[in-house]
Structure 1
Amino acid sequence: MIITLIVACEVGFWVLLALGLAVRYLLKWRRTSVALLLCEPLLEVVLFVVTAIDLRGGAEPSWEHGLAALYIGFTVAYGHYMIRWLDGHAAHRLSGAPKPTGPPRYGRARARHEAKLWLRAVLGGAVALVLLQLAVWYVGDSGDVSSLRSFQWVALRTVGIYGLIALSYTIWPRKAPAGEPEQTAPRKESVRR
């Protein structure tokens, strides 16, 4: 049941996002768009509540519960970033806003970009760790919590591997090809709404 709910939350995320952006840029209904996009966090709240009810109802803690915690953590960390990125592209395609600048590709600017993304992974991992620890306490001595503990290690390993990748951009920065200037950090351009 939890896996089905995780899939439903992911599908719901993309459906709400597509509806929110379509309403904003095709119908020009900004308030309705904001209302639709604000429903996104409700999906994670529903997943959290159903997972807690499932555990309280006597379900044996399993990898599905751990995956739910990881999903919630990383959605908290990357959800707004993804929505803002897609909003910029939708504004460009549907309402004539300037094309959004992509992430820097070379040098220290790319290393800073990767470090910021890694900090998001740290946030996502921290949220997942807290949720998993709360689940361990919630289940208490009445159940086997080894799968929840193993997912805490999964969260830590994921953040660690991402950190090594981000660090590699600092230690071995990519050089711009000859004749192409090294990029600086992208400017944040306001999107016309």
Structure 2
Amino acid sequence: MMLIATIAAEVAFWLCLVAGCLLRYVFNLRKLGLILMAATPIIDLLLLVFFYVSLSQGSKAEFMHGFAAFYIVFSVVFGKGIIGFVDQKVSGGSTRTGPKDDQRSFTQCVLASVGAALLLLIGIAVTGLAGSFWLVYWLIAVAFTPAMWWGVQRWMSKKATR
């Protein structure tokens, strides 16, 4: 069930974003479009509630419980930037990035990783250690995410300067 909820949240996020852009720029309903785009954190909140309800009712956490925790926090931390990027792109604005943006995105990655770890730890407390294999798995993955992020950023910046 967590798989379906996570997919539904992702689809709803993009539907709100695309519909918001259409309302803002095609139908000239700027406020309604902005409201729709700003509603995306509500989707994450609903998924978070479902995450903990699902954990409290089941005996064991599944792979998708851990993935959902990761997805929720990264969506919240990076969602505003994604929405702003899409909004600028659709409106014809500049979307350039540089070293300052790389540092900012790395800082956001660290923040998101800490938040995801917190959700996972709370999930472990709700489920109990015996039923938390996949939450612990994702906790380990989250611990290594900033290092991987940093490495990919360095590799991409070196590749761009060639």
Q: CA deviation at 1:117?
A: 1.4
Q: CA deviation at 1:153?
A: 0.8
Residues 139 and 115 of structure 1: is their aligned pair in 2 closer, same or farther, counting only changes over 3 Å? same
Distance 2:156 2:12 in 1: 34
Aligned residue number for residue 90 of structure 2: 90
Shift of 1:166: 3.3
Match status 1:71 vs 2:71:
yes
Query: Are 1:150 and 2:144 counterparts?
Result: no
Cα deviation, residue 169, structure 1:
6.8
Whichever of the two has the greater Rg, that structure is 1
Most deviating of 53-62 and 43-52: 53-62
Report SS of the residue matched to 1:102: coil
5+ residue gaps in structure 2? none
d(CA) in 2 for partners of 1:86, 1:127: 25
The 1-side partners of 2:95 and 2:114 are apart by 30
Q: How big is each residue's C-alpha offset from its partner over 1:69-120, in whole Å with a ceiling of 9 and x where there is no partner? A: 010111012111110000001111xxxxxx414224xxxxx3x332221112
Label 1:101 to 1:57 Cα distance change in 2 as closer, same or farther (>3 A).
closer
Which residue does 1:4 correspond to in 2?
Answer: 4
Candidates 99, 104, 113, aligned match of 1:116? 104
CA distance in 1, matches of 2:78, 2:22: 21
Counterpart secondary structure, 2:131: coil
- Which stretch shows the higher mean deviation, 65-74 or 51-60? 51-60
In structure 2, C-alpha distance between the alignment counterparts of 1:28 and 1:53, rounded to whole Å: 40
Residue equivalent to 2:28:
28
Tell whether the 8 Å contact from 1:115 to 1:166 is kept in structure 2 after alignment: no
1:44-92 per-position Cα deviation (integer Å, ceiling 9, x unaligned):
1111111111111124112111000010111012111110000001111
- State the partner residue of 1:140: 128
Residue 96 of structure 2 corresponds to residue 102 of structure 1? yes
SS of the aligned residue for 1:46 comes to helix
CA-atom RMSD in angstroms: 2.0
- Cα distance, 1:140 vs structure 2: 3.0
